[in-house]
Amino acid sequence: MKQRFNKSIIYCIVFCSLCFAGVVKADILLLVHGFQSDMLTWQRANIIPVLQKHGWEKTDYIIAAPQGIAPIHTPEELTKNKIAILHLNSEIRLRDQANMVTAGLIYLSDLYPNEPVYIVGHSLGGLVARLSIVKNGVFQVKGLITIATPHLGTQLARVGLNKLNGNVIETFAKRFFGGSRYNTLERSRPVLHNILPELPGNLLYQLNRQPHPNIKYVSVVRSYKNGVLGDVVVP
Strand partners, 30: 84, 119
Task: Give the mean pLDDT of 140-165.
Answer: 88
The model carries a pTM of 0.82
* 227: pLDDT strictly greater than 50: no
- Tell me, yes or no, whether 188 lies in a domain: no
We report the CATH number of the domain holding residue 117 as 3.40.50.1820
Across 33-46, average pLDDT:
90
**Domain annotation covers residue 25:** yes
pLDDT on residue 131: 98
Position 28 scores a pLDDT of 92
Number of domains the chain is built from: 1
Q: In this predicted structure, what is the pLDDT of residue 8? A: 56
* Domain annotation covers residue 12: yes
CA distance 106 to 95: 16
Distance CA 213, CA 196 (A): 24
Overall size of the chain counted in residues: 235
pLDDT at 180: 66
Q: To 5 degrees, how large is the angle CA 200–CA 201–CA 207? A: 90
Residue 217: phi, psi to the nearest 5?
Answer: -125, 135
Name the nearest CA neighbour of 129 among 7, 218, 5. 218
Return the pLDDT at 23. 44
DSSP 133-167: HHHH--TTEEEEEEES--TT--HHHHHHHHHH---
User: Residue 68: inside a domain, yes or no?
Assistant: yes
As a whole number, mean pLDDT of residues 176-194 equals 75
pLDDT one-digit tens code per residue, 3-28: 555 555 655 666 566 566 554 456 89
**Within a domain: residue 194?**
no
Q: Supply the range of the domain harboring residue 11.
A: 7-153+202-220
Residue 226 pLDDT greater than 50, yes or no: no
Asked, for residue 166, whether it belongs to a domain, the answer is no
> Is position 174 within any domain?
no
- Say if 165 falls within a structural domain: no
- Spatial strand order in the sheet of 68-73: 68-73, 56-65, 81-87, 28-32, 117-122, 141-147, 216-220
Q: What is the pLDDT of residues 59-95, one digit of tens each?
A: 889 999 888 888 888 776 666 789 999 999 998 999 9
221: pLDDT strictly greater than 50: yes
Q: Is the pLDDT of residue 234 over 90?
A: no
Round to whole Å and give the CA distance between 105 and 175. Answer: 38
